[in-house]
Amino acid sequence: MPFDTVLGQERAKQVLRRAIRANRIPHALLLTGPDGVGKAALALALARAVNCAQRGEEPCDTCPACHRIQGLTHPDVHVLFPAKRSRREAEDVDPEDERKFLAGLAQDPYRYPAVGPSETLLIDRVRRLEKDLRRGLYEGRCRVAILLETERMRQETANALLKTLEEPLPDTLLILVTSRPNALLPTIRSRCQQLRLRPLAEAEIRQALLRGAGPEGRIALASGLCQGNLRRAHALMGQDVEDLRDQAYSFLNDGVFGADTALVPFVERWSAGGDRKALDGLFDMVVTWLRDIVLFQEGAPHRILHTDRRQEVERLAASVNTEAVSRTLSEIERCRDMSRRNVNASLILISLWRCLRRTSHAA
């Protein structure tokens, strides 16, 4: 995947091209930015570029090294991801889980398999990585270790990684990928060169979705509602977007204007089955409505996402002030964190509902 096939991110790609041209690749790079914007895709493209037989500014995508890294079978390229510990004492990650994850990542780095809320980067895997890196090169020009979702580390794992960062090896590149850099130890961040990726433009999302099958109307809606997150856009393509929009609006509308009894059927629906991905999708959709409320209040109704439901946006915007929206957005992030920690879904929704009720009284 040459850099030009990584969606958008022109500034980040230019930074990497210049570094390769000047032979000034850092020993550790921290790729940050929202979910679904191509951090893993760019990390893999960089791994190919620094090992490509053509020795250019970006991977050729045709040499054996590029092909092997693209398939994640190159012995000098390592990928670590949050996982649960194997039941076998001799294994740190279940081999079958690793095979499935890497196969999905190789097939599409924008849609690699989601990991569970309780899964973390394992300390045994980080320690083994350090040993692997010290064994020297097998066939490439540069050893590359890509660590995905590095915010999902316990303290002891972070300390083990810090040891590797403090003693950089020649011809070795560590690429840390995260959507929450502030969750990392400051000492880890300080030892990496940071490169932030931005949300994808709506046109870039639409271009990616058009490569697959799907009605143009749904593609347009998913592109507009995903907030620059291609993973979310693909998820929206597989959902009943209209129902999700209705549910998110009803939650907001009832929270601001309705009675507490409206919460009961809502909680029963969204807590049944324990589908955390569905709950996260609900939060995403609520955020789009809140975003539209702020845009309407700021005199930019032409920029709202829910253009076909302008009257509903206007009604909420007239009753909820910007400060209250900000509090609700902060509460949603707290609810996401609770969901990642497997807090009961009913308790999460009740917490968000209470925030909305306070919002309605403060408006």
pLDDT digits (tens, 9 = 90+) for 201-240: 988 998 888 876 667 777 877 887 788 899 888 888 877 7
Domain 239-362 classification at class level:
mainly alpha
- Let me know how many helices (H) and strands (E) the chain has, helices first: 16, 5
- Residue identified by tokens 């969901």 is 339
More confident of the two residues 88 and 276:
276
Half-sphere exposure of 184 (CA within 13 A, CB side): 25
What's the pLDDT tens digit per position in 91-125?
577 788 889 999 999 998 998 887 776 788 999 89
Task: Quote the mean pLDDT of the chain.
Answer: 86
Residues of the chain with CATH 3.40.50.300: 3-196
Examine the pLDDT at 176 and tell me if it is beyond 50. yes
Those residues whose C-beta lies under 8 Å from the C-beta of residue 54, and which sit 6 or more positions away, are: 60, 63
Portion of the chain with pLDDT greater than 90, in percent: 34
What's the pLDDT tens digit per position in 122-170?
998 999 999 999 888 888 899 999 999 999 999 999 999 998 898 888 8
β-pair partners for 65: none
Predicted local distance difference test score (pLDDT) of residue 282: 85
Structure tokens at 346: 């009913």
CATH of segment(s) 3-196: 3.40.50.300
Residues of the chain with CATH 1.20.272: 239-362
What SS3 state is found at 3? Answer: helix
Predicted local distance difference test score (pLDDT) of residue 271: 80
CA distance 293 to 317: 5
| CA neighbor of 102 nearest in space, from 144, 74, 126, 62 | 74
CA dihedral 121→127→128→130, nearest 10 degrees, is 110
